[in-house]
Amino acid sequence: MKLPYLALALCLPVAGLVSAASTQDDSSSSEAAALTVTVVKPQERDWARTIPASGWLAAWHEAVIAAETGGLRITDVLADVGSVVTKGQELVRLSRDSVLAELREQEAAVASAKASLAQAKANADRARKVKGSGALSDQEVNEYLITEQTAQASLASEEAGLESQRIKLDQTIVRAADDGIISSRSANLGTVVSSGTELFRLIRQQRVEWQAEVSAQYLQEFQTGATAVIDGPNNEKIKGKVRLIGPTVSTDSSRATVYVELPKSAGSRVGLYATGSIELGHSPALTVPESALVFRDGINYVFTLNEKNRVARSRVDIGRRQGSEVEVLSGLAEDSDVVESGGAFLSDGVLVQVEKASQ
């Protein structure tokens, strides 16, 4: 009757061992995931190669509008700073009274010279008719002919003076030298101007350009017509085209100036300091979402996932940025599974739960 009790006693240690082993396995398999993550594959993109640049916004060409005649008073100012004008448009009127008086005086001088020439010509014609007849000596004939020539020269001189007075009369109206926008005004009503006095400055054709300074090491890669982007106000991006590459390099900063033409619609203002970038061409880029980056102690990292759903921290070097993506220059394989976000809450080797894999 004691045999069943003995068998039961032998079975109890074996059952205890099995139970202990089962408990250990359950503990291993029930390790909690540190975070639920989404993984992505690095993407191959064709991105523009750009370099940073900065510089002032300036007028493409600036025209100085000045008085061409002097000693006259300004009677009307017809434009102001910011006025959009067209070529030939009236900007300033000068007093014309004295000029008109001088013009009438010169017209009278021309009329007198014409009368003198008519008389001299008539005398010369008679002298030519009687030349050789003995009615007039050769000396007298020559005097009449010389008088005619002198009268002709006098008339030409007076007519030139009349043309000069007409030009002066026309110069009493100061006109725009080209289409554009007035950038400065120094003309004031009642001022007596001198010849050459600056009255206005004009931004020709309303064209503003970005005079961007760039490192001289990139000069060989620049091409006219390349795209440039300026960081405008309110995060606005203003696109332009490289118009000209400066022929000289500053000996102080080793930087060169690149002239970028901007569209009129941008409404850019002369005198602003702007930053941006200039395109040098296109090249392939291995990219990941910017949210995948973890910045610690001045170094960029990403977390990659292995087949056991554990993450590994990898140091990466980054390059270009475009939108929400960033280029990885080194430290990441193309077929890696990268944790898309939340890396700041992870550490090397922890277990994670994968929500989905983005393509």
Total number of domains constituting the chain:
4
- Provide the CATH number for the domain around residue 248: 2.40.30.170
Calculate mean pLDDT across residues 146-173: 95
Domain boundary among 282, 299, 329: 282
Enter the pTM of the model.
Answer: 0.65
Residues in CB range of 348: below 8 A, 6 or more apart:
311, 312, 313
Return the pLDDT at 291.
92
Token digits of residue 256? 């060169």
Instruction: Note whether 277 and 335 are same-domain residues.
Output: no
- Give residue 187's domain range: 63-95+172-205
Instruction: Note whether 166 and 176 are same-domain residues.
Output: no
- The answer to whether position 151 is within a domain reads yes
Instruction: Note whether 221 and 250 are same-domain residues.
Output: yes
Return the pLDDT at 29.
52
The helix (run of H) or strand (run of E) holding residue 286 is strand 273-289
- The DSSP line for 184-195 is EE---TTPEE-T
Return the pLDDT at 1.
42
Token digits of residue 3? 């045999």
Domain boundary among 266, 282, 298: 282
- Is the per-residue pLDDT at 324 higher than 70? yes
Instruction: Note whether 239 and 185 are same-domain residues.
Output: no
Return the pLDDT at 161.
95
* Confidence band for 343, pLDDT divided at 50, 70 and 90: confident
Which range among 153-162, 235-244, 300-309, 350-359 has the greatest average pLDDT?
153-162
* Confidence band for 22, pLDDT divided at 50, 70 and 90: very low
Return the pLDDT at 309.
87
Instruction: Note whether 127 and 247 are same-domain residues.
Output: no
- The answer to whether position 323 is within a domain reads yes
Yes or no: say if 204 and 60 are a contact pair by the CB < 8 Å rule: yes
Cβ neighbours of 244 (radius 10 Å): 13
Return the pLDDT at 51.
86
- The answer to whether position 17 is within a domain reads no
Return the pLDDT at 119.
93
- Provide the CATH number for the domain around residue 289: 2.40.420.20
Calculate mean pLDDT across residues 58-83: 94
Mapped onto helix, strand or coil, the DSSP state of residue 241 is strand
What confidence tens digit (pLDDT) does each residue in 115-146 have?
A: 999 999 998 888 888 887 777 787 888 888 89
Instruction: Note whether 213 and 274 are same-domain residues.
Output: yes
Query: In whole numbers, what is the pLDDT of the chain averaged over residues?
Result: 86
- The answer to whether position 269 is within a domain reads yes
Helix-, strand-, coil-residue percentages of the chain, each rounded to 5: 30, 40, 30
Yes or no: say if 321 and 357 are a contact pair by the CB < 8 Å rule: no
- Provide the CATH number for the domain around residue 144: 1.10.287
* Confidence band for 20, pLDDT divided at 50, 70 and 90: very low
Calculate mean pLDDT across residues 266-282: 85
What confidence tens digit (pLDDT) does each residue in 214-239 have?
A: 988 888 888 888 999 998 777 788 99
The rounded Cα 56 to chain-centroid distance in angstroms is 9
Return the pLDDT at 356.
59
Residues in CB range of 338: below 8 A, 6 or more apart:
39, 40, 41, 42, 288, 292, 302, 303, 304, 305, 332
Residues in CB range of 52: below 8 A, 6 or more apart:
275, 276, 277
- The DSSP line for 148-212 is HHHHHHHHHHHHHHHHHHHHHHHTTEEE-SSSEEEEEE---TTPEE-TT-EEEEEEETT-EEEEE
- Is the per-residue pLDDT at 359 higher than 70? no
- The answer to whether position 26 is within a domain reads no
The whole-angstrom separation of Cα 149 and Cα 156 is 11
3-state secondary structure 8-43: HHHHHHHHHHHHHHHHHHHHHHCCCCCCEEEEECCE
